[in-house]
Each structure stands twice: as structure tokens, then as C-alpha cells.
Chains A and B, each alone.
Chain A
Amino acid sequence: MDSQVAKKRIGDVIRVDTITSSQADFLATHVQVKNIQLTKSYDGKVLKTLTEQEAFTKYVLNPKDEHQLILVVGLSGTGKSHLIRWFSTKLERDHSENEVVLFIRRSDNSLKGTIKQLLALDEVAHIPNKEVYERLIRATTVIDDKKLKDLIYQNFIVEINNDENDEILTRHKKRRLIALLQNESFQNRLLEDDKAIDRIYQKVAQGKGIDNRDVIALFDAADFYVDAEFCEDLIRDEADKNARTMATSLVGDAELANQIASYMNTLVNNVIQTCAGLEPGDFEEVFKEIRKELKRQGKSLTLLIEDITAFTGVNVALLNVISLPNTGMYDDLCRISSIIGTTTAYFEDVFPANYRDRVTNYMRISDEAFGADNNSLYEFVGKYLNAMSLSTAALDEWLEYGSQIDQFPVHTDKEGKEWERVSIAKDKSLNLFPFTRTSIIKLFSLLPEHQQTPRYLLRDVVERVVRNYLSAPNKFPCLSIDRLENYPWEMKNQIDHRARLMQFVSGSEFDRMDLFIRIWGDANLLSYTSEDGKKYIGGIPETAYKEFGMTRIDGLESGKAPAQLSDGSGALPGGLSSSQRGAASGSADFEKPKKSEVNPEQVAFQLGIQTIYKWIQGGSLNFDSTKKDAKMMQQARDEMNRYIYNAINWQIEGVSVDNISKFTSRDFVEFERQSKKVGKSLLTLPANQETQSVLEAFVAFVTLGDGKTWNFEGGAWRQYQVQLWFERIKPQIIEKVKTFNGLNVDYQVCAISAEMIREIVFGQYKGTTIEGMSEPLLWETTLKGVPLSTAHSKEWVSLMSSLRENDRRIKDTILDYYNIVQGTGGRNKFLNRAALSADFRKIRKRRLHIDESILFERDPFKPRQDIRAVFRDLYGKLGRVSEAEKTLAISKLAELGKFIDCEEIDEDDLMELVDEITSFYDTANKSQVNVKYDIAMIDAVKKDVVPIANAISNVQKAVLLEDALDILMAFSQDPLARVARLLELLTKVSNDIAYVARDVEKRRGNLAQNTSIGESRYFQQNAIISSDYEIVNGWEA
């Protein structure tokens, strides 16, 4: 290649429209068409297979001087135009003196373009019927785009209005159809790009549409599909009733839509002619005039039409006139030999059935456009590459001297001097740089099947690749290739070649070498040194890597020559393997993407590889149990997570087994661009080569290893890749399990703190300071129920109930967290006392306090967060509970103060009090006053005077405390219960004294009414009572 020349020439040389390229470029890039199938009828048996030269000599040249109508039929892009142009070029040189050759180009494939070509012909310019000639001139007048589209649309309505044929559509239906067509909403739909009106417009207007060759200017049933929503819109817009009726009928009725489309298509020709300003018969007239004129001159006509669709709108007229033989009533017409190109689709869908019998021969260009061997394909590419590296002058000179093959100009190589070449004639070979044979075959096979034609090879392969090279040779190849996954890396004998490449290169360098070796080469890294000392890697000469400035890599010594060097073909160095070469005996046999042998695991594995590849290329990664590929990805991801879970030695890494068991989802990793559940995992794996390799390894594990083993071909290497990756991500995973939101995991601290609160609130901790609490309490205390009777405040009791709800969970959490387990654990405990002591000391030092800001952070592991929430709830209640307890205590002390002086009261004071109470009741009983002597109540105080005195003292101190935890510990042993016992006794005694007083007063009243003896006795009794009063009053003081 000479890139300096190619940069300037590529645009001219690679013009897919054969007509617009120069004659010299056309001939320099022409590749012989070898398999033209000749039939008498469209579906008929192939009579002969001809080369283009044979077709020309035997038929186009018309040696028998007969009337004939030959259709050249083939799929779009197979080279019909190229062939007809080649016929035309040959005819220009070889036709007889009396033969006039008219070549109608497709030009821009519009009727106006075709008419313009006709007007340029001498034979047309001199036709006697000047009126028709002028109409042709008018038909080429340019009309504003929008106006022309509207004109076409309105003319369809006019045509329907005036159509009296009701065979396809009844009159009613036509009326409703007109109403619908007149509706603005429907009109806008049909006028949209690519809809029917637009397609017809492209065939009428000149210079519209960039590549409209495959467009057929007809209506399609889909043009008339409407949905319920559209109908509702019509109702809302108060559209015409008939329009609404037709629209409603069309909803879901494909048959009616098809019927309408068929009907509309009967009107297309008339509409196009009207819009072009032609009258029915004009075209036929023009051609008849031409034939008559030629007859007068004693000449015959060969008419070459590149594509019949260029005559859309007048094609029937054209067929009429060219199918007329020059005999009988038409003997005033000259003999005509017509060679007309048409696509298969056009012929089958549009070509009038009644004209098919008039076709004398069909020349079918098979899909195998490049003939019977791959050389045609290489030659095709090679000739374009050569032409673009040659100056226009060099090719014009060749044309001038007869464009003979022996003088075929070959450019001087500036790049790729040692490159693969393709031989086109003796001593003529063309450089394929920057392609290899292999790349041509593979890139061609990757085109969609219906586009495996010269046109698309040129546009989507040759032009694309060359432009890619010219824009950045040192980054070449750097282009996206659809369906690249169809050429995966080789995987043989436990060797994953792509993984080896990754050992050497990464990033964009990997991307281009990956593409280069897979498409340009044999998709492996096998190396071979030929007898002449040339080294090959992956079937590509090492010099080729150097040519593109690629990183040097070491291949894998294969010890045997790549297929292209050992198949005895004597071929030039290149990348075509023998299988490809063998298959390349015809384009239909070009090696299609290899299908795996029927091995379900391998098929599944390949599907996984392709799915991952698409993700790496920018797609999303789906996990779904209902779709095959997504399910496999889900399995692979699950296995990755399972691998991580099992491979990390959690305890040794300082993570309690209890902690990791609380990560219930075990979704350690997720992926960049995964479609669902984003942000739920600990680590997001980027869409890079490493992740690709590892994910592929796990796909291999679930497919080739059935999710059980790495014991499959290449398993050890894939396992190594997993281990390498795992060791890299392990620290991050461990860190994510040990922390959350930047905080150390603290649920175990919360659990210990909650348990310590429980021990205090339930009175199991007897001490009064937090410092006095010790670790063994955590397992030595048993869980208790809320007591039935208690002197605590109701808030305290409520807190007890709250603690009770979670006490088992809290205790188990502590013992499980600090248990050193083997495997997944068991019932026995071997405590991690070092860790427990460390945490316990911290908790004690902080006096159970954890900052609210920390407690309000949300731990993403729900079971951990649940424990934290329990503690947060308990901790939040401590202030309220302690205050309530204190308030209750103050009220009790006040009550007590009504009976006794509590200040510095001790057990002796209490003992004395009990004695006096006893004395009171003794005296009362002796005096036969009816008060009940409650020995049990008195004894309850008497035997506990020391604790009661202490309790009073403690409560007196407790109510002075301010810290909630101190208050809780002060009331932990429920001192108010003892205070209450004393208070109960005193209250009873007080009530009994009041009763006795009332009784005494009553008795005195009775005595005052008696005798002096009685008086004397009264005074005695009165004296005793007064004395008792003094005693009791003494207590109260």
C-alpha cells in the first residue's frame, strides 16, 4: 500500500455506485464474474453456467441478431450493475457498426434521474414527437421536497376517488380509506421517513436517498397498522366518522391492512407518472419513436438497463415497448435486444406476471458472487487496494492503451513490503496490506448473510478497515466488529491463548492485538519458524506485528507449520488456515463461524464466553434465572461469591465467624453495568480484562466443571487465574466485612453493652460501679423473667420487658461472636478471650456509651444492624427509666418522712421503732382495744433492719445521683422494696393509733356519765392513755 496516495484516492475508488466511479477505476477493480446461471424461466432449471465473457459473447453480443429480453437477476449488491456496466463497456468496443447501444444507468435510482439520462441521448433528442419530448423535459423540473411529497399523497387520494374498480376494495371501504388518508394524524404517519410515501418519493425525486437501491416504492401492510391508542386519539380529535371506522377496523386486522396495501400499490404507477408530469403512454411513445427512427436508419438497438427500478412508475410502459418483436404489425420498429438488471425481491414482488413469459433468458447471479474459489475474493480486495494506491494518471494511461491484463499497473509498496499477495495473472500479484487472506475471509463471513456481497464487502470491510489503518497505523486495528465472538480464541490442550496474550499486554494494546490475532490470524499464539527462518505467531508473520508497532510477544512453540504453510498450496505467507482455505472453494462455503461439536457443556461455555464478551464491549450484564445466558451468568456470579466465602479464612483474618454468617446474602461482588440489584454488594468489579478472565473461569467451572470441579481441560490454569485475582481482592473484601460506613463493626460491642444493661436492670449485677463488672458475668448469669412483684417504677419494669424480648439473641450473639470455631461452628465454646477482654475493657471504660451519631449509622448487614438497633433502643430508654425510678424514690422517702426521721437512720433506730410498735400493740391489747397485731409485718421489718436501714440510706444517696447508669446501678437491687416494707408497717401502725384514739375518746365519754368510783377509774385510765399518747408522739418526733 501507498498510504499517501490511498488517503487521496480511497474516496474515488471505493464508490459503491459503479457508474459514478471512473472508467479506469472501474476496470482496474473489476473482478470477473464466473458463475452466471442461465435459465429460460425464472424458476427454471439452470441450462448453463457462464462466465461473464461467455455471457457477453453468446448472448449480449447477440450473434444471431434476434429480438431478446434478458433479465439479470440477483440479490441486492451481488454485482448486477457491475456486470451490466462491464457488458456496456465491452459492447462499446465490440458492437457491430449497425448496432446502437443505449445504456441507462441507475444513476441516483430515481425516475427523474433516468429521464435526464434519456434526454441526454441523441436518439431521444431527435425523436419526431416534440410534444412528448417536452413533457419529458418538464418531468425533470425540480419541485420542492415537501410539495412533492404532498403531491404524491394527494394524488393517491385523487386516484382512489376516481377509481371505479371495486375488485380489491369495496366502494364503502374506499370511502372510509379516503377519509382516513385525509386525516392529518394518519397523513403524518404515512409521510414519515421510510414509510410508503417517503419510499415512493425517493423513487420520483432526483438526488434523494443516499443508498436507496434496496427500496421498493410500494405500500406495505405495516404502513396501515394502527393501534387502539391511535383510534382513541381520533375520537378525542373528533375525526371524521369514516376515518374512525376505518381506523377501528384496522386495529389488529392484518388482512385488511394487507388488502389496502395491495390496492394502493395498483395506483402507484399512475401517481408517479402524474407527479412526474407525464401522461400515460409518454414513455412507451418515446421508446417506440426511438425504435422507429433506428429502423429507418437501418440500425438495431441494444438496450442495457442497470436496474429496472429506475423506471418505477413507467416500468410497465417500458416492458411494453421492449417486449415487442420487430416483426408482423411491428415491423416498423427496429430489432431490440434488452439486458435489464433487477433484484430478486423486485422481480418476485413487483415484476408484472404477464410480462414474465416475454423474457427470453434469465441470467442469475448467484449469491456466491465471487465464483468458485477464494481467489476471486482476494482479487476483489486486492484490486481495490491496488487501485487506491495508484494515481488516476497511471490508471488512465492503462485504460488508454487498452486496459490489457498484461499491462495491468501494480503500485509500488510503501507499507507492508513483505506482505501477503494475491496473484491475478502471470507475473502480476497484488499486495493485500493491511489485510491477510484470513482476515478477508473472516470479515466477509461476519457480514450478515444477506450482505455477503461485493457491495457490502467493499463498504463495510475494505473501506472501513483501510480508513481505520490510514487514520492511525500505530493503533490499527482499532474498530468494533459485530459478531466477533464467532471467532473465539483457540482453546486446545489446556491452553487458553487469549489468557497468554494477557500476560504480555493490556488495555488498548490488548484490544487491538486480540482483534488482530483472532481475525487476521488463527486465533492462537502458536509459533513456528519456517525453513527460511521466518517466524509466525498465530499464523501471522512476526514482521506483521512489527509493521503495526505491536508489542513483542512470545508464542507457544507448536513445532509444526501453520496450516497455510503446510498445505502444499505454495501460498504466500498468510493467515488462512487449511480448513478455511479448503472451505473457501466458493463464497457460499466461506468458513462460517465454527459451531461447537455437539457437546452441551462446550456449547454452554461458548455461550457464556460470548455473553461476557458482549458485556466487555459495553453491554450490560444480566442475571436472571429464566434466560439461558443470564442464568449462566447468575450461576457464575454465585460461584464467585461462594468461592470468596470459602477461600477466606475468616477467623485467621480477624473476622468472627458470627460476623460473616450475618452477611446473609453473601453477595461479595457485583459487576460494572450489571442490570439489576446495583450497589448491593461489597465490591464492584470493573469491566476489564481481569474480570473477564475470572468470570470466564467461573463460567467454565459451572459449565465444563458442572459447578463441582476444576477438573476439566484448562481447569488448572483457570483456577490459577481465579487465585491470582482472589488474592488481590481479598484485602478489600475483608475490610468491607470488618467495617461499614467508615466505622469498625460494632454489633458485638452493642450486644455486650445490652447484656450489661440487662444484668444491672435485673439486679444480677450486685455492684454499684461499672468498673466492678467482669466478663464471666456474660456467661455466668442466667436469663430471668420479669418479676411478678417489684417496687421499681413502671418505666423500669417496661425496660425489663424490652430486655427480656431479646435477651437470648443478645447472649447468643456474644458467645457466638467470641467463639473460636472449627469449620462452621458447633455447640461447644472455646472463647476468644483476648478479643472479648479487649472489647469488654473498652465498653467499661466508655460506661456503655456509644455516640448517637454512630448508633444512627446503618450497618448494611441486617442481622448486625438488628443487634445494634436493640441496643440503641435500650440505651435510649436509660435516661427516662432512671429519672422515673428517682422520682418514685423521692416520693417514697417523703412518705417515710411523715412517720419517722430518716436522716442517718440505722438498724438500732429501726430496732427501737419495732420495739415501740410492739409495745403499743401490747398495751392496746391489754386495754382491750380492738387493733390487729400483724406479727408477720412486724417481723419482716424486724429481721431485715440492717438491709432496710441500708436501703433507706442508699435510696437517699441515689436520689442525689445525676448519671443514668449510676442511678440504674443504685436501684439495681430494688432498695425501694425494703423501704416499702417499712412504709407499709408504719402506715398500718399509724392507722391503728388513730383507731385507738377514737376508741379511747369514746370510752371516756361513756365514763363521764358514771359514778365517782367510776370517776376515779376514769382518771386512772385517762392517765394511762395520756402516757401512751406521749410515747406515740415521741415516735413521730
Chain B
Amino acid sequence: MFADKMKHEAIPERVFALCELVKNKPWNESDAKEYFEPSALKGSPYFPMVRDAASQYQLGLVNVTDKKIELAVDKSVVASMETMRKYIIKHISVIKNGLFYETSQAYFDLNEKVYEYGSVTEQDLMDALQKNMSRKLDVDDMRAWRFWAAYLGFGHLARSATNQPQMNFLPNLYRYLQAAIEVSSLERGKEYRFDDFIRAIQLSCDIAMKDALTSRRLNMAMSYGLRMMHDNGEIELRYQLDNKNLWYLYPADLHAIRSEVSHITIRR
């Protein structure tokens, strides 16, 4: 899922289920497979993809050695889907070289242009993404991408049109940022220069900040995510006139923070 190809069978819930199973003791692969995909139910072909996504070669949540699967992280990491999400966000760089990471960066870079496409599997969208990617992308990859994108907090899934099966994805990093800030070293109630803030979340948020460090411009998904946190009182964005360390949010003329931002305070 997080290597060269994305596998839509390896959805987050199944990866979590596997981690939860092995959190107390290692399991034989075959037993684990039977556990989730009983042969009495004619079995299913998903298990290997789920195992691979969780393995040391991708998310690093479990170790798979000699047909045995054991938890590779602290038990608290897999206490819930949410704790696992935060862990993955904190360690998102482990999949930095994978297709998922590259696709996500390209998707965020499209900004409002994503609204031009009917669904994530639309060929025109994939063509647009491919312009900024080195790896090849196909429909199955995008089908898989949307599940993890929704889980990690990249935005919302939406039906592309009434009675149409295709799904669209509406980017907004609100939930992702919430977690990224939480797992960062940022203190509550303290005002940070925006430079410092970006540095603190850089590792987690690099996936959504391609080229941002040089341009000092945040894409639409990041910008709206920050604005949403601001509007909900979770953070406070501020623009100080003549500040030399200005950053630029994706413009939203109707928002109190239209673009320039210089400081941020984490409220809660």
C-alpha cells in the first residue's frame, strides 16, 4: 500500500485489526488469516496486503518474520484507530519514498483545481497529478489512496454526483493538522513565530508542504485546515504588520485571515 503500488484491500481498519490482534502475543500468519478470513466463509484474499501495509517494510506497525507477526510498536499505539492515526502522522516520513506520499503531495498541490474533476479515479485528474509525479499512477492506486487520505485527515470523501458510484475527495487538512500539532513539541498557550511553528510540524506535514519552505506559501488544504482550527478556537493565527517572517495562506478573502500570517498560538 505504501510502497510502489497502493492496494485498496489494505484499508486502515483492517491494518488496525491486525495490529490489535497481535498486540498481546505474536501470531502465525496462517492463524491470523484464518482468524480474520475464516475458511468456512470461503476465505478472502485481503490478508497479505493488510499484513504488508502494517509491516516493517511500510508503516512499521508490525514485524513479520518467519511467518510470525508481532507488534513492532508500543501497545498504546494501537489502543484505538485514533492513537494509530497519530502515530502514523508522527512517523509519516517512513513512507516518504512510496507512491502514497508522492500522490498526496501532488493532490495537495492542485489546490482548487481538484474541484474541476468528477472523481479521484477520473483520468484527467490522474493526468494532472502525474505531471508532478515520478511514479505511475492508475485507477486502483487512487481507489486505495482515498481510504487512507480520509483516515489520516486529509479531507472528506464525497460522492461525485447523485447516483454515481465514483468518489471524490475534498481536501482540508484540519484533522491531520490537529494530530500533527498534538504530536509535535508545541506548547499550549504560547505564541510562536510562524517559522517556528512550521519547523515544529515539518516532519509530519511535509507530505502537504511540498516546496512550501521555499515559497512560504501553504496550499489550500493546509490553509483551510489552519483556518478551521482558528475558527474553532483551537489555534489563533495572527498577522503582524511588517513582520519579516511572513507566511502566506492560500487566499480566502472572506476569512479574517485572508492570507498573510506571522504568528500562531496553540489554544487547545
Binding site for B on A (CB under 8 A): 493-497, 499-500, 503-504, 554, 556, 638-639, 642-643, 645-647, 649, 651-652, 707-711, 715-717, 719-720, 723-724, 726-728, 776, 779-780, 815, 820, 822-823, 828-834
Contact = CB atoms under 8 A, between A and B. Distances in A.
B146 to A, nearest CB: 9
B249 to A, nearest CB: 12
21 contacts: A496-B254, A504-B256, A638-B162, A643-B158, A646-B156, A647-B156, A652-B81, A710-B170, A717-B254, A719-B115, A720-B252, A724-B231, A727-B228, A820-B14, A822-B11, A823-B8, A828-B37, A829-B44, A830-B37, A831-B36, A833-B21
Interface of B: 8-9, 11-14, 17, 20-21, 35-38, 40-41, 44-47, 50, 81, 112, 115-116, 118, 143, 147, 150-151, 155-162, 167, 170, 172, 174-175, 220, 224, 227-228, 231-232, 252-256, 258
A642 B159 contact: yes
Contact of B37 (A494, A496, A717, A829): A829
B81 A723 contact: no
Contact of B256 (A554, A716, A833): A554
A779 B224 CA distance: 47
Nearest to A653: B81
Contact of A822 (B8, B38, B115, B170): B8
A367 B112 CA distance: 51
A708 B160 contact: yes
Given A494-B253, A780-B40, A820-B14, A716 B158 contact: no
Contacts of B20: 834
B253 A495 contact: yes
Contacts of A823: 8, 143, 167
Contact of B252 (A708, A717, A830): A717
Interface centre among A651, A830, A833 (most CB of B within 10 A): A830
Nearest to A717: B254
A833 B17 contact: yes
B224 A649 contact: no
B147 A822 contact: yes
B115 A707 contact: no
B160 A833 contact: no
Q: Is the interface of A mostly helix, strand, loop or mixed?
A: helix
A499 B115 contact: no
Q: Considering the complex of A and B, which 5 residue pairs feature the smallest CB-CB distances, nearest first?
A: A828-B44, A711-B115, A647-B156, A500-B254, A708-B161
Contacts of A707: 161-162
B12 A652 contact: yes
B115 A716 contact: yes
A647 B174 CA distance: 14
B220 A716 contact: yes
A404 B228 CA distance: 64
Given A716-B115, A829-B44, A834-B21, 10 more contacts: A500-B255, A709-B118, A710-B115, A724-B228, A726-B156, A820-B13, A822-B9, A823-B8, A832-B17, A834-B17
B174 A828 contact: no
B20 to A, nearest CB: 5
B40 A820 contact: no
A711 B116 contact: yes
Contacts of B159: 642, 645-646
A81 to B, nearest CB: 50
Contacts of A709: 115-116, 118
Contacts of B175: 727
A830 B255 contact: no
A500 B14 contact: no
B158 A646 contact: yes
A771 to B, nearest CB: 21
B38 A779 contact: yes
Contact of B36 (A556, A710, A830): A830
A556 B252 CA distance: 11
A529 to B, nearest CB: 15
Contacts of B13: 651-652, 820, 832
Nearest to B255: A503
A727 B174 contact: yes
Contact of B174 (A554, A556, A723): A723
Contacts of B44: 828-830
